[in-house]
Homo-oligomer: A and B are copies of this chain.
Amino acid sequence: MIYRKAILPLGFKANALACGLKKSGKLDLALFYSQNPAKAVCLFTANKIQAAPLKVNKKYLKINKHFKAVIANSGNANCFTGIAGLKDAQDMSLFVAKTLGIKKDAVLVASTGIIGRRLELGKIKNALPQLVKGLSKNGINKAKKAIMTTDTFAKEITVKFNVGGKTVTICGIAKGAGMIAPNLATMLVFIFTDADISPGALKKALKIAAASSFNCITVDGCMSTNDMVILLANAEAKNKLIDTGKNFSVFSKALNTLCLKLAKMIVQDAEGATKFIQIKVENAKTSKEAKQVALSIANSNLFKTAIFASSKNILGRTVAAVGASGVDIKERGLKIKYSPLKKKEVSINISLGRGKHSVIVYTSDLTYEYVKINAEYN
């Protein structure tokens, strides 16, 4: 069953409040908590400059396999903040652990917002007692908003399915609307499941799911420094351990569905976008080359403005982007088809006539509003 809202699985709680990082006074600090220590799997941006929280989490993931909480703030990315920023991220985690009364490396950290500015740690610290006190099942409905920056709506989804007679739940929330490009962009994704699943299976399932979802979306080709997907599994569903075979398939399929829906929501909320664009590249020699062509199109400003305008130039601009991808395309083998351009959802099929591999990439159009949002954002 798929629910278009966040329903926390067994044993998870959340809460959020406005601690003052956002000048607007909107929610900017979220806490996610699992009663049971949860297995954690994370994915991080491929950007070579990584924000402090990512570095801290990587360190924690090396020494610890179970986590009880995730603290996330919006309004400040805690990136390009040097050694001081690293200490801030670590302290943020420590303060939460202390307030929760748990061990200090059991709290993962996430930040999103402005780059290059120190975190106002005092504001976060002061807010923690109240944040912990208010933890609840329904707190997810505040938390999903507290991670937003330029997002216009909260991205949330829940999938429930059966594993050997037990109901297993996976719930995901995400933020992201710009600086979106593979692999992982200004995107924070938190996924919680009560499944009892082996660490290997959990990792494998997330990698598979991300490959055709979060790694197949692009808004502006700009890869962020802060992206992260955090998946926590706390085994509270008390199902038979998921490892391989049919049970893994069921879990993996559910996670694929969840990740793809969240990824599509991010593109639907793309900054200034008026259209949702699906680009399918078929008959490529390899999946890699299919993706290379698809992303070359998806990141072409000329292609994106032509879609915005439902312009007849779309053919030429698609052709130019295909050729610019670096893949050795022959004009003769190239076939391009469009769904009607005036609709809100546009599909483009590109057949390369070189092989049997295909990929689908999702993106948005480039509009006046994108420029406006990104010129004025502060």
Contacts and interface: CB of A to CB of B under 8 A. Distances in A.
Contact of A301 (B47, B114, B115, B301): B301
Interface in A343-378: 366-368, 370-372, 374-378
Contact of A316 (B82, B116, B181, B324): B116
Interface in A126-150: none
Contacts of A74: none
A301 to B, nearest CB: 4
Contact of A48 (B221, B309, B311, B326): B326
B115 A80 contact: no
A195 interface: no
A69 interface: no
Nearest to A55: B331
B309 A222 contact: no
A308 B375 CA distance: 7
A61 to B, nearest CB: 20
Nearest to A312: B378
A116 B335 CA distance: 12
B374 A371 contact: no
Interface centre among A49, A114, A220 (most CB of B within 10 A): A49
A328 B48 contact: yes
Given A116-B319, A311-B377, 9 more contacts: A49-B331, A79-B320, A80-B316, A82-B331, A116-B316, A224-B320, A301-B374, A313-B377, A368-B372
